[in-house]
Amino acid sequence: MILSAATSVDGYLDDASPHRLLLSNAADFARVDEVRASCDAILIGARTMRQDNPRLLVNSEALRAGRVAEGRSEYPLKVTVTRSGDLSADLKFWHHGGAKLVFTVDEAAETVRATLGDLADVVSVGPELDWGLVLDELGHRGVSRLMVEGGGTIHTQLMAQDLADELHLAVAPLLVGQPQAARFLGAADYPGGTTARMRLLEAQVIDDVVLLRYAPQERS
C-alpha cells in the first residue's frame, strides 16, 4: 500500500476555504498520474469526495493505453470508505473511470446501496470499519497494489495501524497556517513512538516541490 499526499511546508493538505488548494505543480501531478496508473486501486475518504468532488482518474491517455496493453483495466478500481453513508449519487467519482467500490459499516450499508444503485459495489465490513477486512476484500478482488490519496483522517488511521508499505509525500513551498484546515496526519500513537525513524527511500526535486519517499514499516 502506498500513501500519497501533497502538503504545505507546515503540514496541511488543504486550506480552510471551500476551494481545493493546489499544492503540487504540473510535473508532480504527472508523477502522481504515473503512480495511479501503476496501481490496481485508488482509495480516498468520503470527506475528500464530498469536499473536492474529484474524478480520480488516470489522466494520461498513454498511461491508460499502457495498462490495457498489459491486459489490465483501463482505469484502476476506485474505492472509498464511509461511516455516515452520506455519498450523493451526483458526485463525479461515480460517473468517470472504471469500477467503483464503497466500504461501509452495517448501519449505513442499506442507505449507501439505495443511494448509489448500480453506480458502485457496496461492502459492509461489520459494525465498525476494520482496515484488515478492507484490505482482505481488496485482495480477493485482485488488488495487490493500492494507492491511498487521503485525506488526513484516512492517512492517520493507516499510518497508526502500520499498514503502509510506502509513503509518498510531496512538500510544496506554501504555508497555510489555518488550524481549521485538514492536516496530513493527526494525533495518534504511531508505531515505535516519537523516536522511531522511518527509512528514507528517495528525495527528489520536482521543480519547486520535493518528493520524499519513505518505507514506514522499516524503522530504526
**Residue 47 interacts with ligand NAP (CB under 6 A): yes or no:** yes
The window from 45-53, 65-73, 94-102, 137-145 that contacts ligand NAP (CB under 6 A) reads 45-53
- Residues of span 75-114 touching ligand NAP by CB under 6 A: 81-84, 86
- Residues of span 181-220 touching ligand NAP by CB under 6 A: 182
Distance CA 54, CA 67 (A): 21
Residue closer to ligand NAP, measured from CB, 151 or 216: 151
- Residues of span 137-166 touching ligand NAP by CB under 6 A: 149-154, 157
The cell numbers describing 86, all together, are: 452520506
* Amino acid present at 215: A
* DSSP letters spanning 4-50: EEEEETTSBSS-SSSSPP--S-HHHHHHHHHHHHH-SEEEEEHHHHH
Distance CA 10, CA 8 (A): 5
Q: Which residues contact 94 (CB under 8 A, 6 or more apart)?
A: 100, 116, 119, 120
Q: Is 96 within 8 Å of 58 (Cβ atoms)? A: no
Residue closer to ligand NAP, measured from CB, 21 or 37: 21
Residue 81 CB, shortest distance to ligand NAP, in Å, is 4
Residue closer to ligand NAP, measured from CB, 75 or 103: 103
How many residues form the binding site for ligand NAP (CB under 6 A)? 27
Q: Which residues bind ligand NAP (CB under 6 A)?
A: 5-6, 13-14, 20, 23, 44-48, 51-52, 81-84, 86, 129, 149-154, 157, 182
